[in-house]
Amino acid sequence: MACDDGDYNVPSFDFDGLTINNCGNTVFNKITSSGTESLILQIDADNTEDLLFKTALDSVLIRIEPDSDNTMYYRIFNGSITSGYFCQEIPASTPDVTEEWFGEGDLYLSNTITLDDNDGVPAEFEDINGNGDLTDDDTDGDGYPNYIDIDDDGDGILTIDEDYDISSGQMLRTGNPQTSNTDGDEFPNYLDIDDDNDGVLSKIESDTEDQNNNGIVNYLDDLDTEEISERTFTNFYTYYYSMRFEFSSLTLFNDSSTINYQDGYNYGTKSGSFETSENPENSSSEE
């Protein structure tokens, strides 16, 4: 990208590839390895309970100007700081800010959201009806589509643990739930409510006990029909977000110098993830 400065009193300005930290509600910062330079971006947005990170955004324009709700600063310190510096309600008295530049420009904010249950079945294979929409495939009808359901068939056994092959007479794990189909019907075990087809639902057969001591646990053995209490647990899945900060134009200035990024400036991309049990039926977030 091209930049033009009208003064020789311009410090080195290289924040490419540095981690974007965030603190408080929406204060973002990048800090050089020396800890003495930082590029701070504060935007007026609600990030309560990670709301901003959970929201899909497509090139939302945010005008950055000094003394506004959306600001940018480039600061040089006479000592080293960490990202915790920006988390204090009252800034520390040291190190001192020896030089400060203000930013002005058009920032475009984009955020790509991906949801996944990390259950060993790739999301593209959880489109059971094959219509290209992952959100309308919910095998057990619990309100969580299969691609964010850690127990797709609701039998109380995690999908990632439904990868056993018993064809040899032993319980051998394959590492792939898609290949395990104990009763040989049209449904792999992770989508089958009665894995061994013994007429007793898997959710009320033990996944640890072996009633007839043949080396196969009850829910996979059609000779074992002993019933237990139904297994239940709380579903959870992972939000992955990738938030991109891209200026179409940016000017940094102080009392003596100006830097113009005529072709724009890429502040960077902040990626992260967090687990949630939030029911998507009650969420406004998009996949």
Phi-psi region of 194 (alpha: psi -120 to 50; beta: other; left: phi over 0): beta
Q: Could you give the percent of the chain with pLDDT greater than 90?
A: 77
Find how far residue 141's CA is from the centre of its chain.
24
Partners of 258 in the β-ladder? 253
Residue 285: pLDDT band (50, 70, 90) is: very low
Domain chopping of the chain, boundaries:
3-115+238-282
Q: Which of 57 and 286 is assigned the larger pLDDT? A: 57
Closest CA to 63 of 54, 72, 55: 72
Give the C-alpha separation, 74 to 39, whole Å: 5
- Per-residue pLDDT tens for 32-73? 999 999 999 999 999 888 889 999 999 999 999 999 999 999
Handedness of CA 236, 45, 287, 111 (dihedral sign): negative
- How far, in Å, CA of 220 to CA of 224, rounded? 8
